[in-house]
Every structure is written in structure tokens, then in C-alpha cells.
A and B are shown apart, each in its own frame.
Chain A
Amino acid sequence: MKRIISSLLLLVLLTLTGVNAQNNSARTNGTARSNAPVTLTLPNKEGGVRFLVMGDTGTGTDKQQQLAQLMLRYRQIFPFEFALMLGDNMYGGEKAVDYKQKFEDVYRPLIDQKVKFYAALGNHDDSNQRFYAFFNMDGQEYYRFTKGNVSFYSLNSNYMDKKQLDWFTGKLATDTSTWKIAFFHHPPYSSGGAHGSDAKLREIVEPIFIKHGVNVVFAGHEHFYERIKPQNGIYYFISGSGGKLRKGDVNKASPLMAKAYDDDMSFMLIEIDDKEMHFQVVSRTGETVDSGVVVNQRKSSG
């Protein structure tokens, strides 16, 4: 009898899984995604610091456009104020027409809604992007800005020289913000097959993160999403599929990986209050592929 019940349960399970897989497949293979589902898992409280994170965007492809349309739809229910760009903002040429096709045309509806973009430079980016009004870099390759109780440090991981490191440590040493977030292009930790962890960068920057209490790090470069298991108390995220996708590149057996998604392009939505950072990762197909809460390490221990 037990065997019969077990077999029936297994059959039901397989059927359900099969249906679900079919649905996912159908959604992934589609083209226009303006009707992708929009479901918010974030608290969406008044007063929180709300923003979007995306990396490796600068292709100007239809898929990048579709992802941007989904961002716009999410903004209707989750009014994020700004977006972090994790580098590779412009692939290929960097003429005026490229800025238009690979950025302005794609994100025009968000620009028109006064969403501010804060860019970091990647290995495909000309340094002159730092003068581009829409990237809000104030003419600097690395810079800091604050929103509420959060300090954001945009770093140039493509050229981490002594000048930049001295600037970074100097700024952090006097930073009393509740949250310190660094964002840049190359990931110190990654389960990607094409690139993997940037160990040389990590060797230099991670001791600084630890010493000065950086809470969260966002990086791109890898064309997928990954949440790394906390390393030395720091939460590392990769969000590098805003315009390109390296499908199936994540090593699923990686001991670093807490969660990863490399089936389609994606972006992150973030909400920060005094003690918690809530995150939701949305794929081009409208699926929420990861979500959760990061508790402020210093707040919880203090």
C-alpha cells in the first residue's frame, strides 16, 4: 500500500514539475516581454532607500530593451529613485550614436521619470564616460555619494591604483554611515566558468572592506546573477546580465554560491532601511529568481 501511495505521489510530483518546466520554457523562449508578470516581494516602505542594480548593460539589443520595459513596470509599484550601473555600460563603439542607442533610447522612460543613474566603469568602457551627464560621475572614475543612511562607493576596478586606494581608504575612515556599499565591475568572488573570482583585486580591496565595515558589494562582469555566501561578514552580489547573458556559465557545485541564475537576463531591486537590506532579483521573463534580507552586520552586533 505504502509503495502505491509513494508511486502516486511521485507521479503527481513529476507531472507538476513537468508542467512548471514547460511554463518556464515557454516564457523564456518568448520575445516581447512587456506583459511579463510584476510581483513585488520587497516591503516598499516610505522612507527606505530604494534603488535598482544592473550590470553589463550596454548592448542596445531588443532583450536589453525588454528588461528596461520590465524595470519601468516595476517602478510603477516600487518607486526606486536611482539605479547603479556596474560597468560595461557601452560595448563596442563609444560615439554619440552609441550613447544614444545603448543607453538613452533604452532607458528613456526611466530618465524621463527622473531616475538617476550612477555608473561604474568596466573593461569595455572609455574613461570619458565619467563626463557623461546621465552617468552622474561628476567627472571622476571613482566617487562617493550618499542616500539617507547609505554611503555608495563607485570604484574603478579596471584600474585600481594607489591613488584610488588611498582615496577609498581615506573616505571610508571618516564615513559614519549606517550602510557602506561598494559597487564596481570585477567580482572579487564568482562561480563563473568564463571569468571566476578576481583574486588579485580581492587581495587588495577585501582587507579594506573588512577594516572599514563595508556591508555589501555589487559587481558585474559575469553575465549572470549570483549571490555569494557571506565572505568575512560581507555580502557579495553579481548582477551582470543587464544586456548580455552567458547562459549556463555558473558552476552549480561552487562552494561560494548561495544562489545563482544564468537562464536569462536580470536586474536587482533593493530597499534599505536602518537595519535591513531587502533584495529582489527579477529576470527578463518576470520571474523573481532570488529574494531575501541582509541584516546590517554592525547594527545587529552593536
Chain B
Amino acid sequence: MKSKQVLAIAGIIVVCIAASGRVLSQTPSPPPLSPADKQVADAFEKRAKDYVRVREALEAKMPPLSKEAKAEEIQAHKQQFQERVRAARAGSKPGDIFTPQASTLIRAIIKDEFKGRDRVELRNAVLKESENKAVPLRVNYPYPESQELLEMPPTLLLRLPPLPKQLRYRFVRNNLLLVDRENGLIVDYMTNALP
């Protein structure tokens, strides 16, 4: 290959990398955590990933759900998946993932994100207007389908420790839950989450 061609290809690669970096940088970046907080967040993320590893292994043994599934297949898959994960995590308890240190960090992030009018609106949305007040606060139990999955404010999601795609943060009353998006189980929760 001639040197001019090599240079041209290298140039294209540089431009592509720069362009992709620009695309990614369009999503606002949250303020950085202190080294100590970063350590707590990393440990939290690791525990969340450990849960996902367990549930992925269990799901892999089940017949896969088609992207063009019938309603009956969706229901059956969810039910089987719940039963398997519940059995495998029979001894799980509150605080397995939301340790006291992680809960303290997350409380501080939420408090910092919602100030003044925003805080009032968050409390109104979660404590007054929400239709999820009947969700039982029990680890390894299903989040009832009849209960609303309250929208998570995107500005907060950008600041909380990122979760694997299988897990979701959800506010229920004054608590923050980790819910599995496929099997619907409450994986863990922390209390006094709202500022």
C-alpha cells in the first residue's frame, strides 16, 4: 500500500473517531464524583452486575422470547423467569445491593439534583400524584403489573450510578427500588430516598 493511501485511511479513521466522540459528547455529562464516592459507586455497580449475571444464567436456560411474541408467550416467559430467579435468590435481603454507603451516596445525589421548586415537584409526583402506592416493599417479590412505573427524571438518571440494561431505578413512596425490567422482580430497595 502506498504511503498516500495509508495516510488517507488514517485520516478517515481519525475523522470517524472525532465524529463519534462528538456524538457521544452531546449527552450532558454529570459532575464528577470524588474518588471516595467513585469507589462506592463502582462497588454498587459491581453488585448490580453480579445480580445480572445470575439472572442471565437463569434466563439462558429458558426458551428465548421471540421479538414477535404472542401475549401468552410473554406472560408465560415472565412467570417462569420470576419463579427461577426467586428460587435462586431465596435468601436475598434488603441492602444486598443498596449497602448503607451506596444508599448514602445516592441520597446525596438526589438531594443535590432536586433543589427548590424541583424538589417540591419531585415530592408531589412521587408522594401525591403517583399511582404506585400499593407496591409492596419486599425484595425478591414482583412489582405488581397494575401499579404505575413512575417516570425516572432523565437529569437524575445521568447522575446516578449507571445500571445494566436489565435493571431499573424506580421511586415508590419515599423509597428507591431496583427492579428487573423483564421479570419484574424487586431486586433491592433503599429507604428515605427523597430529599
Q: Is B120 part of the binding interface, using a Cβ–Cβ cutoff of 8 Å?
A: no
Q: Is A159 part of the binding interface, using a Cβ–Cβ cutoff of 8 Å?
A: yes
Docked complex: B140-157 residues within 8 A CB-CB of A: 145-146, 148-157
Q: Is A150 part of the binding interface, using a Cβ–Cβ cutoff of 8 Å?
A: no
Docked complex: B101-118 residues within 8 A CB-CB of A: 118
Q: Is B165 part of the binding interface, using a Cβ–Cβ cutoff of 8 Å?
A: yes
Chain B proximity mask over A193-214: 1 for CB below 8 Å, otherwise 0: 0110010110111011001000
Q: Is B39 part of the binding interface, using a Cβ–Cβ cutoff of 8 Å?
A: no
What chain A residues lie within 8 Å of B33 (beta carbons)?
Answer: none
Query: Are A161 and B157 in touch, CB under 8 angstroms?
Result: yes
Q: List the B residue with the shortest CB-CB distance to A201.
A: B154
Query: Are A159 and B168 in touch, CB under 8 angstroms?
Result: yes
Q: Which of B69, B153, B156, B182 contacts A132 (CB 8 A)?
A: B69
What chain A residues lie within 8 Å of B28 (beta carbons)?
Answer: 204
Bound form: Cα–Cα A98–B168 in Å? 24
Bound form: Cα–Cα A1–B35 in Å? 87
Bound form: Cα–Cα A31–B146 in Å? 28
Query: Are A96 and B24 in touch, CB under 8 angstroms?
Result: no
Bound form: Cα–Cα A204–B157 in Å? 11
Q: List the A residue with the shortest CB-CB distance to B144.
A: A93
Q: Which of B67, B70, B146, B184 contacts A138 (CB 8 A)?
A: B67
Chain A proximity mask over B147-186: 1 for CB below 8 Å, otherwise 0: 0111111111110001001001000000000000110100
What chain A residues lie within 8 Å of B75 (beta carbons)?
Answer: 94-96
Q: Is A246 part of the binding interface, using a Cβ–Cβ cutoff of 8 Å?
A: no
Bound form: Cα–Cα A204–B27 in Å? 8
Q: Is A62 part of the binding interface, using a Cβ–Cβ cutoff of 8 Å?
A: no
Query: Are B155 and A204 in touch, CB under 8 angstroms?
Result: yes
What chain B residues lie within 8 Å of A259 (beta carbons)?
Answer: none
Bound form: Cα–Cα A96–B73 in Å? 8
What chain B residues lie within 8 Å of A131 (beta carbons)?
Answer: 65-69, 73-74
Query: Are B157 and A159 in touch, CB under 8 angstroms?
Result: yes
Q: Is A99 part of the binding interface, using a Cβ–Cβ cutoff of 8 Å?
A: yes
Q: Is A170 part of the binding interface, using a Cβ–Cβ cutoff of 8 Å?
A: yes
Q: Which of B26, B70, B155 contacts A133 (CB 8 A)?
A: B70
Query: Are A126 and B158 in touch, CB under 8 angstroms?
Result: no
Query: Are A127 and B155 in touch, CB under 8 angstroms?
Result: no
Interface size of B by CB at 8 A reads 41
Q: Is B93 part of the binding interface, using a Cβ–Cβ cutoff of 8 Å?
A: no
Query: Are A133 and B68 in touch, CB under 8 angstroms?
Result: yes
Query: Are B182 and A165 in touch, CB under 8 angstroms?
Result: no
What chain A residues lie within 8 Å of B27 (beta carbons)?
Answer: 162, 165-166, 169
Bound form: Cα–Cα A132–B74 in Å? 7
What chain A residues lie within 8 Å of B8 (beta carbons)?
Answer: none
Q: Which of A157, A162, A211 contacts B151 (CB 8 A)?
A: A157
Q: Is A160 part of the binding interface, using a Cβ–Cβ cutoff of 8 Å?
A: yes
Query: Are B151 and A123 in touch, CB under 8 angstroms?
Result: yes
Distance (whole angstroms) from the CB of A238 to the closest CB of chain B: 15
Q: List the A residue with the shortest CB-CB distance to B30.
A: A162
Q: Is A254 part of the binding interface, using a Cβ–Cβ cutoff of 8 Å?
A: no
Query: Are A126 and B145 in touch, CB under 8 angstroms?
Result: yes
Bound form: Cα–Cα A98–B67 in Å? 19
Query: Are A158 and B149 in touch, CB under 8 angstroms?
Result: yes
Q: Is A247 part of the binding interface, using a Cβ–Cβ cutoff of 8 Å?
A: no
Bound form: Cα–Cα A133–B72 in Å? 11
Query: Are B182 and A200 in touch, CB under 8 angstroms?
Result: no
Q: Is A271 part of the binding interface, using a Cβ–Cβ cutoff of 8 Å?
A: no
What chain A residues lie within 8 Å of B155 (beta carbons)?
Answer: 200, 203-204
Q: Is A32 part of the binding interface, using a Cβ–Cβ cutoff of 8 Å?
A: no
Q: Is B78 part of the binding interface, using a Cβ–Cβ cutoff of 8 Å?
A: yes
Distance (whole angstroms) from the CB of A211 to the closest CB of chain B: 7
Bound form: Cα–Cα A78–B19 in Å? 43
Q: Which of B66, B145, B153, B165 has the most CB of A within 10 A?
A: B145
Q: Is A139 part of the binding interface, using a Cβ–Cβ cutoff of 8 Å?
A: yes
Query: Are A163 and B146 in touch, CB under 8 angstroms?
Result: no
Q: Which 10 pairs between the two chains have the least Cβ-Cβ distance?
A: A99-B71, A160-B154, A139-B67, A133-B68, A96-B71, A127-B181, A200-B153, A131-B69, A204-B154, A96-B72
4 other A-B residue contacts (CB within 8 Å) besides A96-B70, A96-B74: A123-B148, A131-B74, A132-B71, A161-B154
Q: Give 23 A-B contacts (CB < 8 Å), ordered by A residue.
A: A93-B146, A95-B75, A99-B74, A123-B148, A124-B149, A126-B78, A126-B145, A126-B149, A126-B184, A128-B74, A131-B69, A132-B70, A133-B68, A158-B151, A159-B168, A161-B152, A162-B27, A162-B162, A170-B20, A203-B154, A204-B28, A204-B155, A205-B154
